[in-house]
C-alpha cells in the first residue's frame, strides 16, 4: 500500500514515541500540546491504525507504533544527514537561528549585507523557543545563531559579541516600583520573576540574575518559553522580568513599563556557530553580522550646525537621492540610527538609493554630509518609530483555502521564523472599501506552506514586506500592522487592525488604496484556482 506521509508528522511521531509523554514531546518540538495531539491524530487517520494507547496517566506505543518507530527514526536520520551533506556541498543554504527580536534592525541589516554579497545562498531565519538556549546549534537545526550570552555549551560553540546593552526590568503598570526612575537589584530580591524553562540552563540563571542576589533565593511567579508568553505573564501581574534595554522598547505594551537596573552586568548579544564548522559561508555571515552591528564612527563635521531659518526644536524631514547600490542600504541605516533619525531607505530600480529621514534638523544635516548628499528636498514628517530598510522581502506569505468545519481562507505571514496565521472567512479582497474579518489562530510551521490535499489548496503565495512606522513584531503586538504583498494574485499594500483581544483575537484585513486596488472586485470568486496545481477547492473534494 503506497502512502505519502509528511516528514514533519514523522518527526512528531518520533518525539512522542521517544518521550511517551505528549507535553514533554511538545516542549521538545516547540509546539503547543493540543497542536501536537491534532497532528498525531491526523497521522493515525492517514495510516489507518493507532500508534499510541492513551489514558489519563500514560502513553504507550501500540504494536504498529513500535514497528514504525525504529523505521521512522532511521528514515529521518538518513534524510537529515543527506540534506546536511547536500547543503554543505552546494553551499546554497544557511539556517540562521534566533530567540528574540532585537531593536535597531540588526537581523535584517545582517541578512541584507550578506544577501548582497551572496545572492546564491538561500538564507532561512528561524525562531527558537527559550527552552533551546543554543537556538538550534546543538541539535544541528541551525548553522549560525544570534544568542544572548552566556552560551550553553562553551566547548562546542564559538561566538563573537555583537552588542552590549544595559538590563532593564519590566513590570505591570501600576506596580509600586514603577514610580522609580531607576532600580537596584536589592529592590527586586523579593519580587516574583517570570523564568525561562529549566532546560534553558545557564541562560535561565542569567536572566534571573542569580549572580547578583548574594545568595538570596529567587521567587518564580511563572515560566515562559517565548517573548509573547513572558509579556502576557507580566501584564497579568504574575511577576517581573529582566530584559535588554533595546528589547524594552521593542516589546513595549501600554500595560507594561520598564526601568533600568543600575547595578547588574549588561546583556550581551552574540553571533555563534559550532566550533568544528569551518565553512566559508559561516565565516562570511559572521563578518556581515559584525559589520551590521558595528558602531558608526562619524567625522567631526557630522553634527553640523542647523541651517539659517531652522528651528532645532522642531522635527523636520527630507527626501534625498543617495549614491550607491543595494550593498549600501545597511550602512545608510546604521548612520541614520546612530544619529537617532527615523524613516527609511530603499534601492531604486534605476540605480542609487532613496532616503527619507526625519528628526532633529542638525542630525539630518549631519547624515546628509556623512552620505555626501548634494541635493535634498523637504518632505512631510510621516511619524516613524524606526529607521527601516525598504524593498527587502521580510519573508514568505501564503493564503490557503480550506473546507473544514466551515469554509474559510488562512492568511499566513512569516514573522520571526513561524507563520503567524489568521482565518479569513470570506477571503482577502482587493477592494479598498471592503473590510474582512480575520480571526487570529495558532502559528504554523513554514514547512506547511505548500501543503495541498482534500479540502485544502494553496490559493496564493509569494513574499511580503513589513511596512509602517512601527517595527515588527511590535506592530502586531500593538494591534496595527501594515505590509505589502508580492503574490501571484494579491499585490500591494494591506493592513491588519485588531478590534478585539482574548484567546482568539479578532482583526480586520483591509486593502490599502494604491495602484493595485480594484474597486468592486471579488478576487476569490474571479480566481478560485490553486497557484500550485490549478485545481479548485471543489475538485480536491470530488
Q: Determine the pLDDT at residue 104.
A: 57
Q: Of 216, 235, 219, which is closest to residue 227 (Cα–Cα)? A: 235
Q: Determine the pLDDT at residue 25.
A: 82
Please give the full DSSP string across 274-290, using - where no structure is assigned.
Answer: ETT---HHHHHHHHHHH
Q: Which residues are within 8 A (CB) of 124 and not within 5 positions of it... i.e. 6 or more apart?
A: 93, 94, 95, 96, 446
Predicted confidence band of residue 423 (pLDDT cuts 50, 70, 90): very high
Q: Determine the pLDDT at residue 393.
A: 83
- Contacts by residues 69-74 (CB-CB < 8 Å, ≥ 24 positions apart): 69/13, 69/14, 69/17, 69/18, 72/10, 72/13, 72/14, 72/17, 73/14
Q: Determine the pLDDT at residue 86.
A: 63
Residue pointed to by grid coordinates 545582517: 110
Q: What tens digit of pLDDT does each residue of 142-190 get?
A: 999 999 999 887 788 999 999 898 999 999 998 999 999 999 999 999 9
Q: What tens digit of pLDDT does each residue of 313-353 get?
A: 345 889 999 988 777 888 898 888 888 888 889 888 888 89
Cβ–Cβ < 8 Å for 489, 460: yes
Q: Determine the pLDDT at residue 302.
A: 32
- Alpha-carbon gap, residue 230 to 234, rounded angstroms: 6
Please give the full DSSP string across 6-43, using - where no structure is assigned.
Answer: -HHHHHHHHHHHHH--HHHHHHHHT--HHHHHHHHHHH
What does pTM read for this prediction? 0.49
Q: What tens digit of pLDDT does each residue of 179-190 get?
A: 999 999 999 999
Q: What domains sit in the chain, N to C, each tagged with a CATH number? A: 7-88 (1.10.10.10), 91-164+269-293 (3.40.190.10), 167-265 (3.40.190.10), 316-388 (3.30.70.100), 395-541 (no CATH)
CA atoms within 13 A on the CB side of 445: 17
Give the number of residues written for the chain: 542
Q: Of 405, 387, 391, 413, which is closest to residue 455 (Cα–Cα)? A: 405
Has residue 289 got a pLDDT over 60?
A: yes
Q: Which residues are within 8 A (CB) of 200 and not within 5 positions of it... i.e. 6 or more apart?
A: 130, 131, 133, 152
Residue pointed to by grid coordinates 533600568: 260
Cβ–Cβ < 8 Å for 191, 217: no
Tell me the CA distances in angstroms from 420 to 104, 317, 386, 417, 425, one per residue in order: 22, 34, 22, 9, 17
* 3-class secondary-structure state, position 293: helix
> Environment class of residue 428 by beta-carbon count within 10 Å: exposed (0-12), middle (13-18) or buried (19+)?
buried
Of residues 217 and 130, which shows the higher confidence score? 217
> Environment class of residue 396 by beta-carbon count within 10 Å: exposed (0-12), middle (13-18) or buried (19+)?
middle
Q: What tens digit of pLDDT does each residue of 52-70 get?
A: 998 767 889 999 999 999 9
Average pLDDT, the chain: 84
The number of beta carbons lying within 10 Å of the beta carbon of residue 536 is 16
Q: Determine the pLDDT at residue 76.
A: 84
Q: Determine the pLDDT at residue 147.
A: 92
The three cell numbers locating residue 484: 505589502
Q: How is the chain split among helix, strand and coil, in percent rounded to 5?
A: 30, 30, 40
Name 241's bridge partners.
170
- Alpha-carbon gap, residue 159 to 293, rounded angstroms: 14
- Alpha-carbon gap, residue 438 to 411, rounded angstroms: 9
E-strand stretches of 128-212: 144-148, 157-165, 167-172, 192-195
**DSSP letter, residue 534:** -
**Mean pLDDT, range 401-425, rounded to an integer:** 90
Write the Ramachandran bin of 416: left for phi over 0, alpha for psi from -120 to 50, otherwise beta: left
- Alpha-carbon gap, residue 326 to 347, rounded angstroms: 6
Q: What tens digit of pLDDT does each residue of 386-402 get?
A: 888 888 888 899 999 99
Q: Determine the pLDDT at residue 101.
A: 67
Write the Ramachandran bin of 382: left for phi over 0, alpha for psi from -120 to 50, otherwise beta: alpha
Cβ–Cβ < 8 Å for 235, 172: yes
Q: Of 187, 276, 290, which is closest to residue 240 (Cα–Cα)? A: 187
Q: Determine the pLDDT at residue 228.
A: 77
Residue pointed to by grid coordinates 513589513: 466
Q: How many whole angstroms from its chain centre is CA 111?
A: 13
Tell me the CA distances in angstroms from 293 to 162, 190, 245, 393, 515, one per residue in order: 6, 36, 16, 20, 37
- Alpha-carbon gap, residue 249 to 471, rounded angstroms: 11
CA atoms within 13 A on the CB side of 128: 28
Cβ–Cβ < 8 Å for 367, 156: no
Cis peptide, bond prior to residue 473, ω within 30 of zero: yes
- Alpha-carbon gap, residue 239 to 236, rounded angstroms: 8
Has residue 500 got a pLDDT over 70?
A: yes
- Alpha-carbon gap, residue 248 to 416, rounded angstroms: 18
Amino acid at each position: 500500500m503506497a502512502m505519502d506521509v509528511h516528514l514533519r508528522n514523522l518527526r512528531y511521531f518520533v518525539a512522542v514515541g521517544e518521550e511517551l509523554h505528549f507535553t514533554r514531546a511538545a516542549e521538545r518540538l516547540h509546539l503547543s500540546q493540543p497542536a501536537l495531539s491534532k497532528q498525531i491524530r491526523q497521522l493515525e487517520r492517514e495510516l489507518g491504525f493507532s500508534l499510541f494507547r492513551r489514558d489519563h496517566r500514560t502513553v504507550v506505543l501500540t504494536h504498529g507504533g513500535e514497528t514504525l518507530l525504529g523505521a521512522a527514526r532511521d528514515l529521518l536520520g538518513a534524510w537529515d544527514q543527506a540534506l546536511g551533506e547536500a547543503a554543505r556541498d552546494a553551499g546554497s543554504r544557511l539556517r540562521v537561528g534566533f530567540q528574540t527580536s532585537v531593536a535597531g534592525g540588526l537581523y535584517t541589516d545582517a541578512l541584507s549585507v550578506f544577501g548582497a554579497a551572496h545572492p546564491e545562498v538561500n538564507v532561512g531565519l528561524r525562531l527558537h523557543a527559550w527552552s533551546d538556549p543554543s537556538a538550534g546549534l546543538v541539535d544541528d537545526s541551525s548553522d549560525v545563531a544570534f544568542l544572548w550570552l552566556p552560551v550553553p555549551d562553551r566547548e562546542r560553540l564559538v561566538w563573537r559579541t555583537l552588542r552590549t546593552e544595559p538590563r532593564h526590568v519590566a513590570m505591570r503598570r501600576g506596580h509600586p516600583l514603577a514610580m522609580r526612575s531607576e532600580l537596584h537589584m536589592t529592590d527586586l530580591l523579593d519580587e516574583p520573576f517570570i523564568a525561562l524553562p529549566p532546560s534553558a540552563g545557564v541562560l535561565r540563571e542569567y536572566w534571573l540574575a542569580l549572580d547578583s542576589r548574594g545568595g538570596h533565593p529567587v521567587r518564580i511567579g511563572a515560566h515562559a518559553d517565548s517573548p509573547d508568553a513572558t509579556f502576557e505573564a507580566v501584564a497579568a501581574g504574575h511577576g517581573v522580568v529582566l530584559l535588554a534595554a533595546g528589547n524594552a522598547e521593542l516589546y513595549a505594551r501600554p500595560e507594561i513599563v520598564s526601568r533600568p537596573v543600575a547595578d547588574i552586568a549588561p546583556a550581551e548579544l552574540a553571533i555563534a556557530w559550532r566550533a568544528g564548522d569551518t565553512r566559508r559561508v559561516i565565516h562570511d555571515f559572521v563578518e556581515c553580522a559584525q559589520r551590521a552591528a558595528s558602531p558608526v564612527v562619524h567625522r567631526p563635521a557630522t553634527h553640523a550646525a542647523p541651517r539659517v531659518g531652522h528651528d532645532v526644536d522642531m522635527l523636520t524631514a527630507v527626501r534625498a537621492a543617495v549614491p550607491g547600490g543595494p550593498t549600501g542600504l545597511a550602512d545608510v541605516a546604521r548612520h541614520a540610527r546612530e544619529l537617532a533619525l527615523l524613516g527609511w531607505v530603499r534601492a531604486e530600480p534605476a540605480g542609487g538609493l532613496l532616503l527619507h529621514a526625519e528628526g532633529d534638523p542638525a542630525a539630518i544635516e549631519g547624515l546628509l554630509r556623512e552620505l555626501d548628499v548634494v541635493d535634498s528636498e523637504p518632505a512631510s514628517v510621516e511619524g516613524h518609530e524606526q529607521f527601516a530598510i525598504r524593498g527587502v522581502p521580510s519573508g514568505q506569505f501564503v493564503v490557503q483555502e480550506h473546507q473544514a468545519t466551515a469554509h474559510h481562507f488562512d492568511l499566513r505571514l512569516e514573522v520571526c521564523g513561524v507563520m503567524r496565521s489568521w482565518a479569513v472567512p470570506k477571503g482577502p479582497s482587493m477592494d479598498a472599501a471592503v473590510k474582512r474579518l480575520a480571526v487570529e489562530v495558532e502559528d504554523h510551521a513554514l514547512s506547511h506552506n505548500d501543503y495541498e490535499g482534500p479540502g485544502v489548496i494553496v490559493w496564493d503565495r509569494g513574499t511580503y514586506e513589513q511596512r509602517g512606522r512601527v517595527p515588527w513584531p511590535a506592530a502586531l503586538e500593538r494591534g496595527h500592522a501594515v505590509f505589502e504583498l508580492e503574490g501571484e494574485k494579491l499585490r500591494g499594500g494591506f493592513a491588519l487592525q485588531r478590534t478585539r483581544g482574548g484567546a482568539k483575537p479578532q482583526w480586520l484585513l483591509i486593502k490599502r488604496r494604491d495602484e493595485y486596488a480594484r474597486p468592486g472586485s471579488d478576487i476569490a470568486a474571479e480566481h478560485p484556482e490553486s497557484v500550485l496545481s490549478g485545481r479548485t477547492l471543489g475538485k480536491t473534494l470530488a
